[in-house]
Amino acid sequence: MTTKNAPLQQWTDEVAALTKPDKIHWCDGSEAEYNQLVEQMLVTGDLLKLRAATYPHCYLHRSDPSDVARVEHLTYVCSENEEDAGPNNNWMDPSEAHQKINKLFDGCMQGRTMYVVPYCMGPIKSPYARCGVEITDSAYVVINMRLMTRMGQAALDRIEREGQFVRGLHSIGDLDPERRFIMHFPEELSIQSFGSGYGGNALLGKKCHALRIASWQGHREGWLAEHMLIVEVESPEGEKHYLAAAFPSACGKTNLAMLIPPKSYKGWKVRTLGDDIAWLHLDATGRLRAINPESGYFGVVPGTNEKTNRNAYEMIRHDTIFTNVGVTSDNEPWWEDKQDGEPATDWQGRPYAAANGPAAHPNSRFTVSAAQNPGYSPLADDPGGVPISAIIFGGRRREVAPLVYQSKDWKHGVLVGAGVASETTAAAAGQIGVTRRDPMAMKPFCGYNFADYWSHWLSFAEKSESLPKIFHVNWFRQDSDGNFLWPGFGDNLRVLRWIIDRCEGRSGATETAIGYLPSPGDIDISGLDLEPSTMEALLNLDKEQWRQEMQEIGKYLEAYGSRLPQELLEQQRAVLKDLG
Ligand code: OXD
Ligand code: MN
């Protein structure tokens, strides 16, 4: 297979001349191709077969121990103009970057196969979808891309029809962290990633294309590429709402997207459209519509069990690729809080010993086709996407942020999003548990200057009068002994219900300096064993803490200098003034 698209053919020829592979394989995306690659990886040891009786068609991949997460310090946006990348990104001059990375790619595929992977982000027939081609020397990347994107012939057909695609070049190189770079060239619509096989660095359709490059394109073209789940909530009366929620990595987006209603919520249905990324476009009536550009989930495994996420637990019982989990003595995958079984081997393949740390790496992952989710919404395949009623921001905060509040309006909501902060997790290399600013949960993923990004967000207020309402949630409030105050998981539907009722003008709230806060009685806690004082603590607004928070947000925003939209600072000053 080759292509009728001359620029694509020319680019693959150029890449082959540079990287010097032994073989070139154009991926058609078929099941036969997937199975053949799996067989080949079982032979090389890149995959290990898990127990077929209980985990049919499930495989384990053990990565290099130094290659287990995104590497933000090695990730660059190489725009022509440094200011366009902004203080939120590492920047390198594009010609210097090309020179540096071309040297690494030179001859790197000798003895290897070069796979050409055409893919489509979004339903193949969607006007909102965009295509790309990833060239990689990793069969692991190819099989993951088949689960995560619409990959193969249909994508190539669209590329040949449209003539447009994002170019992604990837090599695992020698996995040396000293020779690892994830580079984005937004003006060229290209990505070059060297030296890592980890999902966020190597599955280029995901963070690199669908967030960094797409956010840049969205800025130019009037749409938004966001780090958001998309979930459908249906009431017993059959009323449906679609919500989009942005939380930082490993803060529960997959769990919220796959929520199982609490027992007392008879007749409520929750369906998943997406668990990580949303592309948002205004339609002709001014409603914001969302598509999920992905077709699979690359989720954090530890903590997944029947109680926390029953759908995910069931979904990963077959046809799943596990990366860096432990293994039981009868060859089943094992992870912390799985709730049954015992690890025999840890994620590095060593006999399990508690002294070596957890059996599964804290950022171990499952890759699975979204259609395997028992709560999958077929609307995820709808070319037109779904209309969003509410946008929800959130982070992992021990204190300060209440369980939920609503912004005063869209522009104030942009400040709420810009003010998101969260404790860091294992999804990125570096220290864990440190609170950092993560505006709109996009700090690692916005492919351009945050100042311009906030202006872009603010500009929607002038474009439509039917925009979603904006909320902020925090499932992670703790008491002084470190106990979580809110039960979370399925019970988060109680909060979503208040949010939906607010969108419909049905539920109560009190206007405060930071937005509309529910009173304890406004959130349904029937059947929950929660003291009234706990609910009060969850919804408490500590003015002194908030003054400090707002001052910190102000300082953070001001660091963006003259490109910062003044309107955003005015929002921040107004809140500070209201706090007295
Ligand atoms: C992810 C991440 O893998 O955000 O989705 O790191
Ligand atoms: Mn993510």
Query: Which ligand 1 atom is at minimum distance from the Cα of 253?
Result: 5
Name the DSSP class of 137: S
Least confident window among 169-173, 493-497, 519-523: 519-523
Is 131 in the active site? Answer: no
Mean pLDDT of 462-480: 97
CA angle 490, 254, 167 (to 5 degrees): 165
Q: Which ligand is nearest to the CA of 296?
A: 1
> Is residue 426 predicted with pLDDT exceeding 90?
no
Residues with CB under 5 A from ligand 2 (ion): 249, 276
Predicted pLDDT at 189: 98
Q: Percent of the chain beyond pLDDT 90?
A: 96
pLDDT tens track for 313-336: 999 999 999 999 999 999 999 999
> Is residue 430 predicted with pLDDT exceeding 90?
no
Name the DSSP class of 428: B
CB 456, CB 564: distance < 8 Å: no
Instruction: Find out whether the beta carbon of 427 lies less than 6 Å from any atom of ligand 1.
Output: yes
pLDDT tens track for 201-259: 999 999 999 999 999 999 999 999 999 999 999 999 999 999 999 999 889 999 999 99
Which tokens is 280 given? Answer: 């948002």
> Is residue 77 predicted with pLDDT exceeding 80?
yes
What is the rounded CA–CA span in Å between residue 217 and residue 190? 12
What is the rounded CA–CA span in Å between residue 301 and residue 573? 41
CB 351, CB 344: distance < 8 Å: yes
Residue 1 binned pLDDT confidence (cut-offs 50, 70, 90): low
pLDDT tens track for 510-529: 999 999 999 989 999 999 99
Residue 271 binned pLDDT confidence (cut-offs 50, 70, 90): very high
Name the DSSP class of 213: I
109 three-class SS: coil
Instruction: Find out whether the beta carbon of 70 lies less than 6 Å from any atom of ligand 1.
Output: yes
Residue 339 binned pLDDT confidence (cut-offs 50, 70, 90): confident
Domain ranges of the chain: 6-45+70-223, 389-578
Name the DSSP class of 211: I
Q: Whose CA is nearest to atom 1 of ligand 1?
A: 249
- Torsion sign over Cα 239, 242, 243, 249: positive
Residue 432 binned pLDDT confidence (cut-offs 50, 70, 90): confident
Which tokens is 414 given? Answer: 């942009």
Parallel, antiparallel, or unpaired: how do β-strands 469-473 and 390-394 relate? parallel
Cα R_g (the chain), whole angstroms: 23
Task: Output the DSSP codes for 1-52.
Answer: ---S-HHHHHHHHHHHHHH--SEEEE----HHHHHHHHHHHHHHTSSEE--T
Name the DSSP class of 177: G
Predicted pLDDT at 323: 98
Query: Which ligand 1 atom is at minimum distance from the Cα of 300?
Result: 3
> Is residue 478 predicted with pLDDT exceeding 80?
yes
CB 502, CB 406: distance < 8 Å: yes
Residue type, 462: E
CB 232, CB 378: distance < 8 Å: no
Pick the residue with more confidence: 435 or 69?
Answer: 69
> Is residue 457 predicted with pLDDT exceeding 70?
yes
Mutation pick for ligand 1 pocket among 208, 298, 365 (CB with most ligand atoms within 8 Å): 298
> Catalytic: which of 58, 78, 108, 251?
251
Mutation pick for ligand 1 pocket among 75, 249, 321 (CB with most ligand atoms within 8 Å): 249
pTM above 0.85, yes or no: yes
Mean pLDDT of 181-202: 97
Predicted pLDDT at 331: 98
Q: What CATH architecture does domain 6-45+70-223 belong to?
A: 3-Layer(aba) Sandwich (3.40)
Parallel, antiparallel, or unpaired: how do β-strands 190-194 and 296-300 relate? unpaired
Q: How far is CA 342 from CA 11, 307, 349, 354, 364, in A?
A: 49, 18, 14, 12, 17
Residue 435 binned pLDDT confidence (cut-offs 50, 70, 90): confident
Domain 389-578 in CATH 3.90.228.20? The answer is yes
> Is residue 363 predicted with pLDDT exceeding 80?
yes
Q: Percent of the chain beyond pLDDT 70?
A: 100
What is the rounded CA–CA span in Å between residue 78 and residue 90? 8
